[in-house]
Structure 1
């Protein structure tokens, strides 16, 4: 009985040792051609052997090592030598092909240490197999370049990482090792069909804008309103903290507990929340002014077009009391530096689904960070099974249209599928479930 169930190998001896199975084997069928010269009628003679150990998947829960006395042959036609060809063996990693494929599959699900412990190999071997597997996945997974591209960042393993997304489809296209200008330029400059990128959404990070201007000639840059309006919340927080210093201990605790009310839109307050907020703003006029300024700033984004939005912003800026200008200075500065890109939002509005998805991913992504390198986390997020969103693309074949009084031949259509990227909502769900 061939305990290995590998057709190309013939088992000659099986021993159960302390740490697992030791299986001796030989090649089932000797070579009948020379792989160097390609001769099918070459005269081959044995030219020595070399004992090699190859790892295989566990049997009965025990580790398996295959010991093979591998024959070397001499081709008398071309004079070259070669080792027996092992179709089911991966020579680079000294293991069976199925062993390597198992490590590849598991490396996207588990830590390298746990895989190494299970199979009786070093963590370095797992890492080497993983790295080569990722190189393969990089070339075999080609995501479609988005018409509407999003550049953002999320913190992974304590560092901000560049995020490339398809805004229209709400999918993750790539994760970059950092968000530096050089990194973004290098990525964008190698995008297939980059001239087809029409819109790029980003936050107000100068390196992003510089990189897009340098690499995407046809793209309109749009600042998502989320990145602007949250600055109004930060300004309110600054004023609230300054007022809090003037309160006694009990009032300070209460104002801290009620801080979320200051950040909530008036239209979203419950009747009780409105009463609580009114009690604070009635007793502290500066708090009321700050809240009203925040609400007025949000209302700018309800403008129907860029012209109306600019008029609303100009009026809003003029309404800021001198004593509060320092708290809102970051908004004023940002608007001055990014006015054109901010106003582009009113022509090209980013969907809430995309913004909420990026925020949701930021919230959960580090739950999967323990024990993984950034490269491993990136691979899990981009290449794990069941995450990809696909679309159908139709391509017309070259066919002749025939028109006459008797016949009309319609062009044939070949339906193909393209991969858009990782569906962000599915990714978040998998992370929350702990299944990634």
Structure 2
């Protein structure tokens, strides 16, 4: 513990502003935590003086440039916020500085409220819409894929929440493209609110849906016993792209096709659909898409329900060939959010949202963290030990 006291006396009254000698009028002892020194926790014992103004008769506590009214120094608070933005758990930070996790949370909350404006962006030309499953709730995620920014995370993905947020964006005509999965709510909201926007269903979600239906067909072929177990173990083999398989894997896959011809048709239909995304233009993609639908209708009944879904969302799927945007960044942001949540061990939604908006966008590297306006040397020189 260090005992400290201000060297200089106030030159004027903060109440009336009259310059002149101020009369000492008692003191109050404060205990203020500071950054550790050589691994040891540091507490500053401040003899905070009270003064009496001879002019107006008001009493006041002396103010300090390097210590505010809280129980920690600004540089300690800066370090706490910096570590929170690096996604360290509150409990670990609290243990390192001998404070409670509530104090850590309060320090970050104060900083986040003060710097709320830095998380506000102008309406982007491309937005990504998705949801993250956190704490048994679907949280709406909005991103700017072009500039790789997390725009916001909302408590749920209900209709009123989606519409309310999208309507809050200024200049709706600026939005040209909205990438998303197959959720019809998101597509309807975008088309209702953004008159110039085109919905693009993420190509990876489309392929994922095709793979899901192919795997469902594989599961139906289980006939029990050894064959059932072997087919179960071969799931990864069937889900892989054919060109990515090793020669041995291709031979093994061919052996299964000899046993189950229907599975062969489903697998090659999946591969044929993937070829659509190799098209160089929308016209070429439409031709391959129609050809694939005709093939499914005539010889692959296992894909009949899938075909209905794809035909119904055909325009949104093929819009990819006009704009070539995906939801890859949005999915990446979702994974980061889930990682932050797992590391946090009990973040409330408000705290999680604030950390994600700052941390995912790498705001921790900016220069507007808490600042004491003084270097460490000036801090030491302003006190008498």
TM-score, length-normalised on structure 2? 0.79
Q: CA distance change for structure 1 residues 168 and 42 in 2, over 3 Å: closer, same or farther? A: same
**Residue 335 (1) aligns with residue 311 (2):** yes
2:79 is matched with: 102
Residue in structure 1 matching 2:23, options 39, 45, 49 = 45
The answer to whether the 8 Å contact 1:228/1:331 transfers is: no
Partner residue in 2 for 1:349: 324
SS in 1 for 2:124: coil
SS in 2 for 1:95: coil
Greater per-residue helix proportion: 2
SS of 1:319 mapped into structure 2: helix
Paired with 1:279 and 1:229, the residues of 2 have a C-alpha distance of 25
SS of the aligned residue for 1:65 comes to strand
Determine the C-alpha separation between the residues in 1 that align with 2:364 and 2:318: 31
1:200, distance to aligned residue in structure 2 (A)? 1.4
Shift of 1:127: 0.8
Q: Give the structure with the larger strand fraction.
A: 1
Residue 221 of structure 1 aligns to a residue whose secondary structure is strand
- State how far apart, in whole Å, the 2-side matches of 1:386 and 1:209 are: 26
How far apart, CA to CA, are the structure 2 residues paired with 1:339 and 1:290? 20
Of 220, 225, 230, the match for 1:248: 225
What residue in structure 2 maps to residue 272 of structure 1?
A: 248
* Aligned 1:53-132 pairs, distance under 5 A: 53-91=31-69, 93-109=70-86, 110-132=88-110
What residue is the counterpart of 1:371 in the other structure?
Answer: 344
Deviation at residue 285 of structure 1 after TM alignment? 1.8
| CA 29–211 in structure 1, closer or farther in 2 if over 3 Å, else same | farther
Structure 1 gap ranges (5+): 1-20, 391-416, 418-436
Check conservation: 1:235, 1:328, Cα contact below 8 A: no
Whose relative contact order is higher, 1 or 2, with alpha carbons under 8 Å and at least 6 apart? 2
Distance in 2 (CA, whole Å) between partners of 1:225 and 1:303 is: 13
Report whether the alignment pairs 1:32 with 2:8. no
Assess, with a 3 A threshold, how the Cα gap between structure 1 residues 186 and 54 changes in structure 2: closer, same or farther.
Answer: farther
Equivalence for 2:202: 224
Q: Is this contact kept in 2: 1:54–1:65, CA < 8 A?
A: yes
Residue 429 of structure 1 aligns with which residue? Answer: none
- Residue 283 of structure 1, aligned match among 259, 278, 283: 259
Output the CA distance in 1 between the equivalents of 2:58 and 2:170. 44
Tell me, yes or no, if the aligned pair for 1:157 and 1:366 is still in contact at 8 Å: no
- How far is 1:97 from its partner? 1.7
- Provide Cα deviations, 1:347-371, integer angstroms capped at 9, x if missing partner: 11126xx63x555565676455233
Could you say what the CA RMSD is over the residues aligned between the two structures, in angstroms?
3.4
Contact preservation (8 Å) 1:335, 1:342: no
Distance 1:189 1:54 in 2: 46
**Structure-2 change in CA distance of 1:334 and 1:28 (3 Å):** farther
1:179 maps to 2:139? no
Q: CA deviation at 1:78?
A: 4.2
> Which of the numbers 249, 260, 269 marks the counterpart of 1:293?
269
Given the superposition, is the C-alpha separation of residues 363 and 69 from structure 1 closer, same or farther in structure 2, using an over 3 Å criterion? closer
Contact 2:179 2:202 in 1 (8 A): yes
Per the TM alignment, residue 169 of structure 1 is displaced from its structure 2 partner at its CA by 4.3
What is the deviation of 1:275?
A: 1.9
Specify which of 238, 241, 256 is matched with residue 262 of structure 1.
Answer: 238
Evaluate the alpha carbon distance shift between residue 340 and residue 83 of structure 1 in structure 2; reply closer, same or farther with a 3 A threshold: same
Could you report, residue by residue, the CA deviation over 1:284-312 in whole angstroms, capped at 9, with x for unpaired residues?
A: 12111211322232233344544554454
Q: Which runs of 5+ in 2 are unaligned?
A: 367-385
Aligned positions, number? 362
Q: Deviations over 1:263-282 (max 9, x none)?
A: 23334333332222221112
State the alpha-carbon separation in 1 of the partners of residues 352 and 182 from structure 2. 26
Alignment partners' CA distance in 2, 1:192 and 1:38: 44
Residues 389 and 311 from structure 1, CA distance in 2 versus in 1: closer, same or farther, beyond 3 angstroms? farther
Name the SS for the 1:89 alignment partner.
coil
